[in-house]
């Protein structure tokens, strides 16, 4: 294109000086056309203007430059799109991998946490059994071992008999939620309970 532009410039210089190289370089071979006045004239005899040829070449150069720019822009856009797609697929793949292992990781974590809580409860229970329950149980067993079975049965029979007597003295019945101590005390058994 640039070579054609240079050739046109040299032709234009030659046309200005009056040098004609021949019909193939300086004239166009167009058919006979009709002018506005209705006269026919042979356009092939008219020399082509150097400015017009130059404009056509410049327009062609601009068009080629625009095409190159557009192609460059298309490539830039394609690269950017490919980069975005690659980033998306990379993030999607990472998400899928995490999704596949996430449930198992959470399950393992929860099992470990549950196991640790059970172990802690077992340790607390063992400590409570040793430090609290066994001491109280030993004291109670010592007192019960000192009591005789006949003594316990006699006390129980006495409490039952007191209830029966109080119920028969009261004509309308005996209510345990209303306590009148001079008639019947339902809580008299508490003074004989074991304390540690």
Burial of residue 190, with CB atoms counted within 10 A of its CB: 0-12 exposed, 13-18 middle, 19 or more buried = exposed
Question: Which pLDDT tens digit goes with each residue over 114-165?
Answer: 999 999 999 999 999 999 999 989 888 888 888 888 888 888 898 888 888 8
Which tokens go with 156? Answer: 């129980």
Supply the angle between the helices 2-17 and 50-128 in degrees, to the nearest 10. Answer: 160
- What DSSP string runs through 74-115? HHHHHHHHHHHHHHHHHHHHHHHHHHHHHHHHHHHHHHHHHH
Rg of the chain in Å (alpha carbons): 59
Q: Identify the helix (H) or strand (E) that includes residue 167.
A: helix 149-169
> Residue 33, SS3?
strand
Buried b (16+ CB within 10 A) or exposed e, 61-90: eeeeeeeeeeeeeeeeeeeeeeeeeeeeee
Q: Quick: pLDDT tens for 32-77.
A: 444 444 444 444 445 567 778 888 888 999 999 999 999 999 999 9
pTM: 0.36
pLDDT at 16: 61
């Amino acid at each position: 294109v640039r070579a054609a532009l240079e050739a046109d410039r040299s032709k234009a210089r030659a046309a200005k000086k009056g040098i004609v190289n021949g019909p193939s370089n300086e004239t166009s071979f167009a058919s006979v056309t009709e002018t506005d006045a209705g006269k026919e004239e042979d356009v092939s005899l008219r020399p082509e203007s150097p400015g017009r040829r130059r404009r056509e070449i410049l327009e062609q150069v601009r068009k080629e430059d625009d095409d190159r720019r557009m192609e460059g822009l298309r490539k830039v856009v394609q690269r950017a799109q490919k980069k975005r797609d690659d980033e998306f697929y990379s993030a999607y793949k990472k998400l899928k991998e995490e999704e596949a292992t996430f449930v198992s990781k959470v399950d393992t974590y929860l099992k470990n946490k549950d196991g640790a809580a059970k172990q802690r409860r077992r340790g607390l229970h063992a400590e409570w059994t040793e430090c609290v329950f066994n001491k109280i149980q030993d004291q109670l067993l010592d007192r019960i071992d000192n009591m005789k079975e006949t003594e316990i049965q006699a006390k129980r029979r006495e409490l039952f008999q007191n209830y029966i007597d109080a119920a028969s003295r009261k004509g309308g019945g005996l209510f345990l939620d209303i306590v009148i101590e001079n008639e019947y005390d339902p809580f008299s058994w508490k003074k004989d309970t074991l304390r540690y």
